Structure 1
Amino acid sequence: MPQKPLKFQEITAEIIYYFLIFFLCYTASNKLIKLDSFKTNLIKTTLFSPDQADLFSVLIILLEVVLIVVLIFIKNIGLLFCCLTMLIFTLYISFLRYKGLYEVCGCGGILNGLEYVYHFIINISLIAGSLFSFLTFYSINDEK
């Protein structure tokens, strides 16, 4: 049986949870506003044709919007979904780096142009934060 989290741990998990929602809203809206730039970044990787970039750019934005909705309405599942999504994004950028195709981050906004190492650190932090929040909220719900 998990131990009941400390109040500080609960507050930290809540802050991370709201940050994840904000972060995803920010990146999804930025990708949508600058859709052509996002498509161009996908094409630059040479993994996507222009038609595939059209499809994937919309699918990625939809995935982020669905993730935001799930986070808001089903917190624990949303946190796991967030963790999995960030893991996939991290594997994607790592694959690009491994193949020598990673130039700079194309996520948009303040992240646009980010070097790989910083992008990787941010993604790992988001994965760790979503897991931390999930485990904290899970142990709180398990106590009830």
Structure 2
Amino acid sequence: MELFKFQKNIAEVIYLFLIFFLCYTASNKLFKIDSFKTNLIKTTLFSKEFADVFSILIIILEIVLVLVLFFFKIKGLLLCSVTMLIFTLYISFLRFKGLYEVCGCGGVLNGLEYKYHFLINVGLVLGALFSFFTFNAFDNEK
């Protein structure tokens, strides 16, 4: 039982970190939206018009994800892991096509090389899944 309590505490720290991380990246993208749009356009996957819309949608998605995490922890963790997996597949696709230059997420991640961006994303996916399964198991024991 002590091990499970430790595991639950780790899951809680990861959960809170995910909320902080998503708030940080969403706010950074919002405050530096022109830079975010430019990074999307640089990939050549997006026209200027589509980048305008898509950049807003990504910011909204991250804010909604924070709200879902905050109000519906377990569902939010599952949604977070799926979202981060999609982001990871996106940057991997860019890398495969030779379109990945540096991370355009903003903040401290901005300018990150692919390998570090990939490792961070995989860590976030695994962390979200770890927390999801931990909290789901805890709720099922009640």
Same fold (TM over 0.5): yes
**RMSD value over aligned CA atoms?**
1.2
Segments ≥4 residues shifted beyond 3 Å: none
CA distance 1:55–1:141, shift in 2 (3 Å): same
List per-residue Cα deviations over 1:13-62 (Å, max 9, x = no partner): 00000000000000000000000000000000000000000000000000
Q: What is the aligned partner in structure 1 of residue 120 from structure 2? A: 122
CA distance 1:70–1:81, shift in 2 (3 Å): same
List per-residue Cα deviations over 1:69-88 (Å, max 9, x = no partner): 00000000000000000000
Q: Distance in 2 between matches of 1:34 and 1:118?
A: 22
Q: AA paired with 1:15?
A: V
TM-score by length of 2: 0.98
The offset of 1:4, in angstroms, is: 9.4
- 1:64 paired with 2:62, answer yes
For residues 1-16 of structure 1, the aligned pairs below 5 Å read 6-16=4-14
The offset of 1:5, in angstroms, is: 6.1
State the percentage of identical aligned residues: 70
Q: How many residues end up aligned between the 2 structures?
A: 142
Aligned pair partner of 1:19 in 14, 17, 20: 17
CA distance 1:51–1:35, shift in 2 (3 Å): same
The offset of 1:94, in angstroms, is: 0.2
- 1:100 paired with 2:98, answer yes
For residues 74-85 of structure 1, the aligned pairs below 5 Å read 74-85=72-83
Q: AA paired with 1:63?
A: L
- 1:50 paired with 2:43, answer no
* Gapped regions of structure 2 (runs ≥ 5): none
Q: AA paired with 1:34?
A: K
The offset of 1:129, in angstroms, is: 0.2
The offset of 1:130, in angstroms, is: 0.2
3-state SS of paired residue (1:6): helix
Q: AA paired with 2:56?
A: V
Aligned pair partner of 2:89 in 91, 115, 119: 91
The offset of 1:6, in angstroms, is: 1.1
